Amino acid sequence: MSAASSDRTEDERRSFASRTPVNENPDRVEYRRGFVTKHQVSGWRFVMRRIASGVALHDTRMLVEPLRSQARAVLMGLLVLATVAGGCFVFTLIWPNSAAANDPVLADKSTSALYVRVGDQLHPVLNLTSARLIVGRPVNPTAVKSTGLDKIPRGNLIGIPGAPERMVQNTSRDADWTVCDSVGGTDAGVTVIAGPLGDGGSRAGALDAQHAVLADNGTGAWLLWDGKRSRIDLSDRAITGALGLGERGAPVPTPRSIATGLFNVIPEAPALTAPVIPGAGDKPAFELPAAAPVGAVVAAHALEGNAQGTLRYYAVLPDGLQPISGVLAAVLRNTDSHGLDRPPLLGADDIARLPVSHALDTSRFPEQPVSITDAVSDPLTCAHWSRAAGASTSSLTLLSGSSLPLRDGVRTLDLVGAGVGGTAARVALTPGTGYFAQSVSGDPTANAGAGPLFWISDTGVRYGVNTEAGTAGSDGDTVAALGLSQPALPIPWSVLSQFALGPTLSRADALLAHDALAPDQRPVRRATTELGATDGGETR
């Protein structure tokens, strides 16, 4: 190749010009920046499908396209689903109550009136609790338009008058019941508290071993101490002096009054009287280092408290010595000192070798003298009964103070029927929840699964729960129909009886028909209106 030809080729390469044929079409195509043609998009999609086929199926020939078939199937499924959903929506617009009308419990959308289906009739029902008892399970009402309800044959009004409108069970598994009585102030009367107590401030607190309450229930004086009550004769100076009442010439404190509701909750202990010792005054059957007859009190030093030690007291009984408290020793000596100015002092070795007796009930008396709470500064007395979940025994604690031991957020509710049939003046329960409870006796070891069942509402009303055996849907299924969870919380009858009495909850009673409900014949109190005023006072 000549040099001239080589130079020309190099120049053409450096000044490269497109070899695309010149478009001589008068309607010249103008390409805009950033846009592609549909053929380019189709080609890109084909290449992507081919890549996917090669990766997933290891075949780029694309004789078949199973991946594309799967995508089409998913798309068709979504379209079918959307079509069915749209059809159902249109169906509900045309026949809005056709499905809901088959539900057992219905509610009118416009008035919230409740209805229950019994057979082929729709009955107005007084409350949801009655409807659930009739149906046999804890169903909620389905809202239906009035026009849909009017298409179903109507039956009589049925249900239990006064049954609870709402039954939400408290989640606590521990039983805590408290009955309080105040002799004055805003809390005067009996108050029943359900659930744990609050503490601090002026709230009533537990009585310690050094304090007691002196009360009179109209039949005599009682000493409330250590979770029990003991009858006491305030004219018996042998007893009052030993307990520290009326010391140094001071008069014995005047007992406060006590309500029957609180009095019955506190278990009774033996009366505070001097124990009768057989053979008192006789010589014991064993040799004593000091002259002391049966019924006398002897003492010995114990190396406790200080360097000199403290005195321990022993009662001389026919069969040996029995350790006793200082209070019981004072009772015995105040009753009959047997001519001894002071208890004879024995040595520790003498006590160790002498026989031991257990004839006396030493739990009848406090271990030490007590101080009586003042009814003016501490007018409130409470008895707190408790049993932990799974425990076989219960405990009762006495409290005293100036205000109710309520938790924060809990308020009292005055009962309309206060004082009728032993009903308390007020109750205090957590709003919105009630208690599924079972009645037990006041015995600390009473079986928690033996008594009748009750529902206690947050308005302070107790409803008996009928659990008689029967066929499916009958009274034997009452607990399940109400949606309550076992086990029920134990509650002493002495506490339970102070809640207002409500009707029994049973399917048989729920099915009773009514033309109309008679007005309540008992006097009641009108609900308060704005500014705390009542509309017209009492009515009936």
Is residue 332 helix, strand or coil?
helix
Q: Which residues of the chain have pLDDT under 50?
A: 16, 18, 306-307, 470-475, 531, 536-540
Quote the pTM value.
Answer: 0.77
440: which strand partners? 492
- Crossing angle of the two packed helices 38-57 and 66-94, in degrees rounded to 10: 110
Strands (DSSP E) contained in 148-292 are 157-158, 175-182, 189-194, 205-206, 211-216, 221-225, 228-231, 256-257, 268-269
Q: 106 has which bridge partners?
A: 115, 142
The tens digit of pLDDT for each residue in 16-61 reads 454 555 656 666 656 556 677 888 888 888 888 888 878 877 887 7
DSSP state of 534: B
For residues 528 and 535, give the distance between their C-alpha atoms in angstroms, rounded to a whole number.
7
Q: What is the pLDDT of residue 528?
A: 66
Task: For residues 389 and 152, give the distance between their C-alpha atoms in angstroms, rounded to a whole number.
Answer: 48
* Beta-ladder partners of 378: none
CA 468, chain centre distance (Å): 25
Sign of the four-CA dihedral 508, 456, 395, 260 = negative
| DSSP-derived 3-state class of residue 426 | strand
At residue 196, φ and ψ (nearest 5 deg) are: -60, 155
